[in-house]
Amino acid sequence: MVHHPMHVGMTGISKTYDGHSFVVRDLNLEITKGEFLTLLGPSGSGKTTTLMMLAGFEYPSGGEITLDGRPIQDKPPEKRNIGMVFQNYALFPHMTVAENVGYSLRVRGSSRQQIATRVGDALAIVQLSDLAQRKPTALSGGQQQRVALARALVFEPSLVLMDEPLGALDKKLREDLQLEIRRIADRLDLTVVYVTHDQHEALTMSDRIAIFNDGRIQQIGSAQDIYGHPASRFVAEFVGDNNCLDAKVVSIEGDLARARLAGGQEIWARSSVHTKVDQQATIAIRPESVRITGQDRAATLSGQVSDIIYCGDQFRIHVELPGGERLIAKSSSSLGLQMEMGSPVLLDWEPRDAWALDGR
Amino acid sequence: MNMGRRVYTEFPAYIRMPLYGFVGIALLLLMLPLAVALPISLNADPWFTYPFRALSLRWFAELFSSPLWTGAMVNSLVIAISTTVVATTLGTLAAIGLVNPRFPFRTAVMALAISPMIVPVVVLGLGLFIFFSPLGLNYSYAGVVIAHTILASPFVVITVTATLTRFDFNLMRAAAGLGAGRLTAFRTVMLPIIAPGVAAGAVFAFASSFDEVVMVLFIAGPEQRTLPKQMFTGLREQLDPTILAAATVMIVLTSCLMAIAYNVNKNR
Ligand SMILES: Nc1ncnc2c1ncn2[C@@H]1O[C@H](COP(=O)(O)OP(=O)(O)O)[C@@H](O)[C@H]1O
Ligand SMILES: [Mg+2]
């Protein structure tokens, strides 16, 4: 068997609806077979448009889309063999669950018996075998989404697209279904492009995450890459919590940069290719990487406690720095209980946990 | 809808009573002429006067046996059914096109599509008569069906458009993604869902053709004599209660169709 490392390819894709403003710009994306790729970004960043171009409901204004090496942008959606799950489910209200799931097989002219078997299998996978004869309106939101999933899988599509499929569900159900979708994708070795604006969902489910902003991919990589090595201030702020401090680079030593904050204190952070001495940079540091220390060791920063927020399993301590910036640190309950508003604290972190990013 | 009704019943009686009275009078004015005229179809004598000496079904018997009347009834049914098929097809297609926001000059085309409801039928009839003569469509079934389709299509456009505004077009995308071509998706997804609107439009189309007389006076020849035309000529030539028997039959038929369409819409 020939192995195609690249299953889906988008090369130089752009899209404009009105002829002058681009909602997707010069998008390059390679998806390997069996991969679970998530497009994560704020609302309006072009995620749905990208998915619609893959599905064939929108035509790219420029660039090329390939599936297994063949260009597909001139193929109508019904010829692409791509499964799609919509946010509002888009189940056919006049058909039963079984008829919904079997629709793709029926229009392909499969035999009755074949349809029954495969619909049965698909419903078993999403654990809905009991409800096969119900109408979609008689189902809960979570059940409807399972039907939509079964319907998108039953014809063994070469690619499955999901556009915020869990957006309308409550938190608990969403978390259950996230794991279930991922489990099904692994079991059936599906290639999935999943759209969400929920970073936790993206971090939980994905092999790779593409961060969208303003029609461009800002960064693409594994959850660990994106979370641990944000490439830009946008990514640092969008994925997880990050403290972003404006600073001026004073010196670079190896892969570490020393930068001065507005208040005059100097801090260490990992430097990147963009880091240049005497230029502005954004220093990003995750709250959980900030340590609150009692005594002045090699402490990097001093500040004043300005807020103590109880979050159940931990406290979030807001610290105001002399330059007026605010920094958030997470701390255990016991330490948090000892904190007092307005009291001075010392903060430090492993220099390699902080990142010097493009200044803006 | 419900909101409005609840607020309405909360009005004090001195406001509600006059309103009830007004509605009652309006309904009475609509019903009274029928209530006076239709029973005459049961008069045993060929007069249009009350009281009757005896009741009889002789005018209904006349209606269903005289070749003049049965021929007219067959013509009316043939023309109304043909009109319904053509107008429902065209009107549904037009509505599907016109609900698409990307349709060019959408409002103007929509206005044009429903304009036959506003333009006086006499004007349309005269215009069609002049337009049809070089085409040889006057005094033909095709001509009458075309003329009636023009009058009937707007009803379909309006009812189907109303249904389509509630239709989720994502369903068509879902169908396409599942492998259905446009026609298959239309037949298996859109049509079953908008069927009540299409059915209501078809009933209105049927009714509007079935009792239409002005176009028929212009376009139809003796061959295409319809029930309304027969009644119209009957009024001048041999006035007898058969006309009212025919009217009763027409009213019952269209009322039944309306009731069916109403129930189809209610039970969906
Ligand atoms: N059919 C359309 N016509 C015109 N503009 C559109 C259309 N669909 C989306 N847009 C615009 O394109 C931009 C990106 O939208 P979308 O791809 O839906 O973003 P996302 O899914 O990331 O929220 C938005 O500014 C949106 O208003
Ligand atoms: Mg979207």
DSSP B168-185: -THHHHHHHHTT--HHHH
Shortest distance between the Cα of B108 and any Cα of chain A, in A, equals 22
Ligand 1 geometric centre to CA of B49 (Å)? 72
Q: Interior CA angle at A39 toward A33 and A43, to 5°?
A: 160
Instruction: Inform me whether the pLDDT recorded for A91 exceeds 70.
Output: yes
Ligand 1 geometric centre to CA of B142 (Å)? 48
Pairing relationship of beta strands A8-16 and A22-31 according to DSSP bridges: antiparallel
3-state class of A211 per DSSP? strand
Bridge partners, A71 (sequence order):
A66
Chain A positions touching B177 (Cβ under 8 A) are 55, 77-78, 80, 82-84, 152
Shortest distance between the Cα of B113 and any Cα of chain A, in A, equals 28
Got the DSSP string for A277-345? TTSEEEEEE-GGGPEEESS-SS--EEEEEEEEEE-SS-EEEEEE-TTS-EEEEEE-HHHHHH--TT-EE
What's residue B144's pLDDT?
A: 95
The Cβ of residue A137 has, within 10 Å, a number of other Cβ atoms equal to 9
Of residues A81, A86, A155, nearest to B174 (C-beta)? A86
Place of tokens 């201030």: A233
More confident site: B15 or B186: B186
Q: Does the beta-carbon distance from B178 to A151 stay under 8 Å?
A: yes
Could you give the CA distance from residue A265 to residue A239 in angstroms, rounded to a whole number? 27
What's residue B45's pLDDT?
A: 87
- Residue B1's pLDDT band (cuts 50, 70, 90): very low
How confident is the model over B162-190, as a mean pLDDT?
A: 95
Residue B141 belongs to what H/E stretch?
helix B141-164
Chain A positions touching B188 (Cβ under 8 A) are 103, 107
Q: Which domains does chain A have, with CATH numbers?
A: 8-228 (3.40.50.300), 241-358 (2.40.50.140)
Q: Is A48 in the pocket of ligand 1 (CB under 6 A)?
A: yes
Instruction: Inform me whether the pLDDT recorded for B5 exceeds 60.
Output: no
Domain B58-267 has CATH 3.40.50.1460: no
Minimal-distance CA residue of chain A relative to B189: A92
Place of tokens 């509605």: B23
How confident is the model over A72-100, as a mean pLDDT?
A: 94
Which tens digits make up the pLDDT trace of A16-67? 999 899 999 999 999 999 999 999 999 999 999 999 999 999 999 999 999 9
Residue A88 belongs to what H/E stretch?
none
Q: Does the beta-carbon distance from A77 to B181 stay under 8 Å?
A: no
- Measured distance between the N- and C-terminal CA atoms of chain A, rounded to whole angstroms: 49
Q: Does the beta-carbon distance from A103 to B188 stay under 8 Å?
A: yes
Could you give the CA distance from residue B33 to residue B164 in angstroms, rounded to a whole number? 38
Q: Are A199 and A40 in contact (CB under 8 A)?
A: yes
Which tens digits make up the pLDDT trace of A180-220? 999 999 999 999 999 999 999 999 999 999 999 999 999 99
Q: Of ligand 1's atoms, which has the minimum distance to the CA of residue A195?
A: 21
**pTM to 2 decimal places:** 0.82
Ligand 2 geometric centre to CA of A344 (Å)? 45
Q: Does the beta-carbon distance from B193 to A83 stay under 8 Å?
A: no
Could you give the CA distance from residue B258 to residue B268 in angstroms, rounded to a whole number? 16
Nearest ligand to residue A165 Cα? 2
Q: Is A213 in the pocket of ligand 1 (CB under 6 A)?
A: no
Which tens digits make up the pLDDT trace of B218-236? 999 888 999 999 998 888 8
Could you give the CA distance from residue B126 to residue B124 in angstroms, rounded to a whole number? 6
Spell out the residues 6+ positions from residue A225 whose beta carbon is closer than 8 angstroms to its own. Answer: A219
Work out the mean pLDDT of chain A and round it to a whole number.
90
**Burial tier of B117 (Cβ tally within 10 Å: 0-12, 13-18, 19+):** middle
Could you give the CA distance from residue A221 to residue A90 in angstroms, rounded to a whole number? 31
Minimal-distance CA residue of chain A relative to B193: A94
What's residue A265's pLDDT?
A: 87
Token couple for A113: 């018996």
Q: How far is CA B206 from CA A248, A292, B118, B141, B169, in A?
A: 80, 82, 19, 16, 29
Could you give the CA distance from residue A76 to residue A193 in angstroms, rounded to a whole number? 19
Q: How far is CA A305 from CA A60, A243, A247, A340, A343, in A?
A: 52, 15, 21, 7, 6
Token couple for B65: 């046996």
Bridge partners, A326 (sequence order):
A320
- Residue B3's pLDDT band (cuts 50, 70, 90): very low
Q: What residues of chain B, 179 to 198, have a C-beta less than 8 Å from chain A?
A: 179-181, 184, 188-189, 192-193
Which tens digits make up the pLDDT trace of A283-327? 999 888 888 876 656 657 888 888 888 888 788 889 998 888 888
Instruction: Inform me whether the pLDDT recorded for B243 exceeds 60.
Output: yes
Chain B positions touching A94 (Cβ under 8 A) are 192-193
User: DSSP letter at B132?
Assistant: H
What's residue A2's pLDDT?
A: 47
Tell me: cis bond preceding A76? Omega within 30 of 0 counts: no
Pairing relationship of beta strands A192-196 and A159-163 according to DSSP bridges: parallel
Minimal-distance CA residue of chain B relative to A157: B178
Nearest ligand to residue A210 Cα? 1
- Give the number of beta-carbon pairs within 8 Å between A and B: 62
**Burial tier of A329 (Cβ tally within 10 Å: 0-12, 13-18, 19+):** buried
What's residue A5's pLDDT?
A: 66
Could you give the CA distance from residue A211 to residue A47 in angstroms, rounded to a whole number? 10
Per cent of chain A over pLDDT 70 is 95
Instruction: Inform me whether the pLDDT recorded for B30 exceeds 60.
Output: yes
Q: Is A41 in the pocket of ligand 1 (CB under 6 A)?
A: yes
Of residues B173, B192, B193, nearest to A57 (C-beta)? B173
Q: Is A197 in the pocket of ligand 1 (CB under 6 A)?
A: no
What's residue A1's pLDDT?
A: 42
Could you tell which of A17, A194, A197 is best to mutate to test the pocket of ligand 1, judged by most ligand atoms within 8 Å of the CB? A17
Lowest average pLDDT, out of B40-54, B79-93, B194-208, goes to B40-54
Q: What residues of chain B, 152 to 171, have a C-beta less than 8 Å from chain A?
A: 168, 170-171
Per cent of chain A over pLDDT 90 is 56
3-state class of A73 per DSSP? coil
Instruction: Inform me whether the pLDDT recorded for B268 exceeds 60.
Output: no
What's residue B2's pLDDT?
A: 46
Could you give the CA distance from residue A11 to residue A211 in angstroms, rounded to a whole number? 17
Q: Is A215 in the pocket of ligand 1 (CB under 6 A)?
A: no
Q: Are A31 and A54 in contact (CB under 8 A)?
A: no
Which of B103, B110, B90 shows the shortest CA–CA distance to B205?
B90
Of residues A57, A93, A103, nearest to B178 (C-beta)? A103
Map out the domains of chain B as residue ranges: 2-42, 58-267
Which tens digits make up the pLDDT trace of B98-155? 999 889 999 999 999 999 999 999 999 999 999 999 999 999 999 999 999 999 999 9
Ligand 2 geometric centre to CA of A165 (Å)? 10
Interface test with B, best of A59, A91, A94, A137 (most B CBs within 10 A): A94
Ligand 1 geometric centre to CA of A24 (Å)? 9
Q: Does the beta-carbon distance from A107 to B184 stay under 8 Å?
A: yes
Q: How far is CA A57 from CA A51, A77, B164, in A?
A: 9, 7, 20
- Residue B6's pLDDT band (cuts 50, 70, 90): low
Could you tell which of A18, A23, A213 is best to mutate to test the pocket of ligand 1, judged by most ligand atoms within 8 Å of the CB? A23
Shortest distance between the Cα of A313 and any Cα of chain B, in A, equals 42
Could you give the CA distance from residue A84 to residue A55 in angstroms, rounded to a whole number? 8
Strand positions, DSSP E, chain A: 8-16, 22-31, 36-40, 62-67, 70-71, 82-85, 159-163, 192-196, 208-213, 216-221, 243-253, 256-261, 266-270, 280-285, 291-293, 301-310, 315-320, 326-331, 344-348, 355-358
Minimal-distance CA residue of chain B relative to A107: B180
Of residues B174, B188, B193, nearest to A84 (C-beta)? B174
Q: Are B129 and B218 in contact (CB under 8 A)?
A: yes
Could you give the CA distance from residue B68 to residue A331 in angstroms, rounded to a whole number? 98
